[in-house]
Amino acid sequence: MTDLTSLGVKDIRDGVAKGDFTAREVAEAFNAAVAGAAALNAFIVTTPDHALAAADKVDAARAAGEPLGKMAGVPIGMKDLFATHGVQTTAASHILEGFTPRYESTVSQKLWDAGAGMLGKLNLDQFAMGSSNETSYFGNVASPWRKAGSNQPMSPGGSSGGSSSAVAARIAPAATGTDTGGSIRQPAAFTGICGIKPTYGRCSRWGIVAFASSLDQAGPMARSVEDCAIMLGAMAGFDPKDATSLQMDVPDWEAALNADLRGKKVGIPREYRMEGTDQAILDSWEQGKAWLKDAGAEIVDVSLPHTKYALPAYYIVAPAEASSNLARYDGVRYGLRDLPDGPNGKGGGLQDMYAATRAAGFGDEVKRRILIGTYVLSAGFYDAYYTQAQKVRALVARDFARAFEECDVILAPTTPTASFPLGSMNEDPLTMYLNDVFAVPASLAGLPAMSVPATINADGLPLGLQLVGRPFDEQGVLNAGLAIQSRAGFTAKPEKWW
């Protein structure tokens, strides 16, 4: 029998439906793979029973001749930013350690309703703040990839680093991610998998631990474009519980997949040719253009003049929103409480409790961003920083709107470099931020954007290409991604060391 863990979403769903194997066999195979991969530290908690129970339900439904869901029999990893009923939800933070939601996030509920099961809660950068998965309270996640001839642990990217590591290592066929400024696309690129952030509002944010609410979007991470289309279809949809949820129908992205790009124009933004970008990345970009041309598309130059300002604008807007969102962690309603002694040996007061709880519960990067956010929102600085950043954000979005008058989809690198060794970028927070330089503009503009694997660099590490589409045009992004996928023939996978 085929090794079930080598299969992706589509093959598992179709195989279960046809009766080639049972959902339970699939769940057991992946549960075993997860249990054998502790060295990756991809999971914060594992939930083998959840995966088995969901599988049994699917097998029973199939035996009874009932219709099966879009994700029937597919066990997935759930980023630990999604609230899951009865299963610890931490955002990889100490302050939420032990928090056990009494409700289920909309996106995870939709996946369970579609017949998926949960292998466990995936590690991430703390509160999704980071680009290397080194800010988790529960330890770094290691990428399954290593440089050729080296044992050095590599970054799986971030913040969805547990998701990318697990999917690349084939201990999960797919996983949820969230993307605030690149947190689906950058880890996907680092690990040779696919990931799509849909248009802002496609997936409900209800029950997702909030980071920057005007930017946060959930999306799937999987090993093929088809798998992403299937899973996104199960995750998306209007939710009255999220005030910014899009009240529009979810297209059947999977059914409409089409790699024929004749009549389509692909824009190449000239401002993305930045200093500090690896030559191998630039070469893969050229290769990507050739692939899309081969698929019938016309390649056109476009300009996104405010590109260089997108990242600094993001590092005002996102921390500002985070400082507000994270004010809820107060030691009163849920999570950690640290109540220090006050003066004279008496118990401290409420303010002491707030300050001590938050000092003990947040990691350094989270504190840094809360402080930046508090500063740029404070009296006297609000207009100079926050209002200015929001205006620049409007210009970044306008750049895209103008570019999409001349093209249908934009092709760019996902990241300026391949993955780097864990611990190698910690000197200065700024150098880490710069890794998201190509990913952040689409986030600020709320656009659908995807990373697909393109090639392997000289070190044997994967490189990704990014596609950005018009608002609501996930289909255009997926189709261009499919055209690249079918020409790139990316079959490389990490050699098992864990």
Catalytically active residues are: 79, 159, 183
The closest alpha carbon to 244, from 223, 217, 221, belongs to: 217
Determine if 35 is a binding residue for other proteins (CB under 8 A).
no
User: Cβ closer to other proteins: 243 or 290?
Assistant: 243
Examine residue 151 and tell whether it contacts other proteins (CB under 8 A). no
Rounded CA-CA distance 444/497 in Å is 38
Q: Which of 387, 424, 426, 486 forms a contact with other proteins (CB under 8 A)?
A: 387
Task: Please choose, out of 4-12, 41-49, 189-197, 325-333, the segment that lies near other proteins by the rule CB under 8 A.
Answer: 325-333
Q: Which of 190, 309, 420, 490 binds other proteins (CB under 8 A)?
A: 309
CB of 371 to other proteins, least distance (A): 5
- For other proteins, the closer of residues 36 and 240 by Cβ is 240
Residue 259 binds other proteins, judged by CB under 8 A:
no
**198, burial (CB in 10 Å: exposed 0-12, middle 13-18, buried 19+):** buried
Binding mask 267-306 for other proteins (x = CB under 8 A): ---------------------------------------x
Q: Which is nearer to other proteins, 305 or 460 (CB)?
A: 305
State the nearest-atom distance from the C-beta of 451 to other proteins, in Å: 20
389 scored as a contact of other proteins (CB under 8 A) = yes
Q: Which stretch binds other proteins (CB under 8 A): 64-72, 95-103, 131-139, 168-176?
A: 95-103
Residue 61 makes CB contacts below 8 A (sequence gap 6+) with 67, 68, 72, 115
- Interface residue with other proteins among 397, 432, 452, 484 (CB under 8 A) is 397
- Return the closest-CA partner of residue 67 out of 28, 13, 130, 106: 13
Distances (CA, A) of 108 to 231, 303, 366: 11, 38, 25
Provide the minimum distance between the beta carbon of 93 and other proteins in the complex, in angstroms, as a whole number: 14
Find the shortest distance in angstroms from Cβ 219 to other proteins.
15
Nearest-angstrom CA–CA distance, 418 and 461:
7
Rounded alpha-carbon distances, angstroms, from residue 498 to 295, 456, 478: 38, 21, 32
CB 121 within 8 A of CB 80: yes
Of the residues 32, 94, 99, 287, which one makes contact with other proteins according to CB under 8 A: 99
Nearer to other proteins, 41 or 109 (CB): 109
Residue 323 lies near other proteins (rule: CB under 8 A): yes
CA 3 → CA 7, 25, 79, distances in Å? 8, 11, 25
Q: Give how many residues touch other proteins by CB under 8 A.
A: 75
The reply to whether 94 sits near other proteins by the rule CB under 8 A is no
Please say whether the beta carbons of 212 and 128 come within 8 A: no
Of the pair 103, 497, the CB lying nearest other proteins is at 103
Sites for other proteins among residues 172-211 (CB under 8 A)? 199-201
Q: Which residues are bridge partners to 52 per DSSP? A: none
375 in contact with other proteins (CB under 8 A): yes
The Cα–Cα gap between 5 and 30 comes to 6
Instruction: State both tokens at 129.
Output: 């703040």
Q: Which is nearer to other proteins, 188 or 353 (CB)?
A: 353
Q: Using CB under 8 A, which residues numbered 215 to 254 contact other proteins?
A: 240-241, 243-244, 246-247
391 binds other proteins (CB under 8 A): yes
What is the rounded end-to-end Cα distance, in angstroms, of the chain? 24
Cα–chain center distance at 10: 20
Nearest CA-CA partner of 101 in 83, 124, 77: 83
Position 426 contacts other proteins (CB under 8 A): no
Q: Considering only residues 333 through 362, tell me which ones interact with other proteins, judged by CB under 8 A.
A: 333-337, 339, 347-356, 358-359, 362
Q: Binding marks (x or -) toward other proteins, 458..487, rule CB under 8 A?
A: -------------x----------------
Which part of the chain contacts other proteins (CB under 8 A), choosing from 96-104, 157-165, 274-282, 473-481?
96-104
